[in-house]
Amino acid sequence: MATVSTVLPGFLIGAMSVQVSAELNVSEAVYGWGLGSFFGAAMVGSIMLGRLAQRIGPRNQMMLALGLSVVVQLALAATARSFGAVIAFLVVAGLANAANQTSVNLALAQAQLPRLALAVSFKQSGLPTATLLAGLLVPSLAVTVGWRWAYVAGALFALMSLGLVRTAVASSLFRTADRASKPESSSRDLFLAAVVGAFLAFSAGSLNAWVVSSGVDAGLGPGTAGLFLSVGAATGISLRLLSGWLSDTMRVPPFRVGGLTAVVGAVGMAGLAVRSPGMHVAAMLLSFGGGWIWPVFTNYGIVRANPRAAGTATGITQMGVYVGVFVGPLVTGWLIEHSGYPAMWLAVAASSVAGAALSIRIADRF
């Protein structure tokens, strides 16, 4: 729930692109800065906040991040009257997300769980769960009473998560000294893993940012497109949990499996280039099913290889993910304006193939 809470503000801005851009009168290229600003801030703060989690303890940092997310979502809903103001609030929300993600990773590594891969898959299912909620909030709130109420709902969810973290997460999860917080993996390997994350997150972030507006362009209604976004996200959740269940006993290196699933997702992303409502729905399900499983395998590989310093290690690798999700909406927004949705989806599929190839190549290092 903590993972869902802090990433939801960024995914909401992607799901509600039709409503927000209509009220604030912004183009696709400018709108790309919405999702880009959220993950750009997370990118800048990821390494520093990963180290901070090692120092102050994961539970403390999770609570601070969730509290900040509550405040910023309420402020955005109540006071943002221009797209520039929306971007400013999303920058703060992105920093809260970076702080939360690294601290959750560290908490899982320190908890000495018997099924670490399954636990990681639950945590990584937080992202498609946030997408599912964002998709449901389009027809239920954004289309009916206004998109701002979706952020009020997000703040209430984060507040509930804060209460659960305070009571359910062990306060004994410890802080570590500088020596203990050094990752076991080499810096070179961690930065290569970050590059994998950048390519694959470019595709995943673009999928989340534009699949609703692309569906509308292909002939779906706004509410229907948002609903199918939730269906696609539910598919991704189910397959992530299944992947985690299998990974604890799997002998194949997790980065290799993650690369192979990303290739499957790339096929679906290429299919989104076809301008047909039926094809769009089918390709979206394949894109989410294959193109969103890889974080379970890559994060499991990183956390398993760096049990003492999962916060620091995933701070480095998550930076790559944030680079991809930051750059993705900006580049793809420009492509939509100048070349249309088909060219954009083919570029997204190519990025997924590139990330998959590198993931398979470095699989033996994790």
**pLDDT one-digit tens code per residue, 230-276:** 787 788 788 888 888 888 888 889 999 999 999 999 999 999 999 98
Whether pLDDT at 179 is above 50:
no
Query: Any residues with CB less than 8 A from the CB of 340 and at least 6 apart, and which?
Result: none
Residue keyed to tokens 């604030």: 24
**Is the whole-model pTM more than 0.85?**
no
Q: What is the dihedral of CA 296, 300, 302, 306, to 10 degrees?
A: 160
Whether pLDDT at 173 is above 70:
no
The backbone region for 146, taken as left when phi is positive above 0, alpha when psi lies in -120 to 50, beta otherwise, is left
- Cβ burial, residue 6 (10 Å; 0-12/13-18/19+): buried
Q: Which helix (H) or strand (E) holds 258?
A: helix 254-271
Tokens of 306: 């760096």
pLDDT for 212? 83
Of the CA atoms within 13 Å of residue 339, those in its CB half-sphere come to 12
Domains within the chain, CATH numbers bracketed: 2-170+181-365 (1.20.1250.20)
177-195 exposure pattern, b = at least 16 Cβ within 10 A, e = fewer: eeeebebebeeebbebbbb
Tell me the three state secondary structure of residue 252.
coil
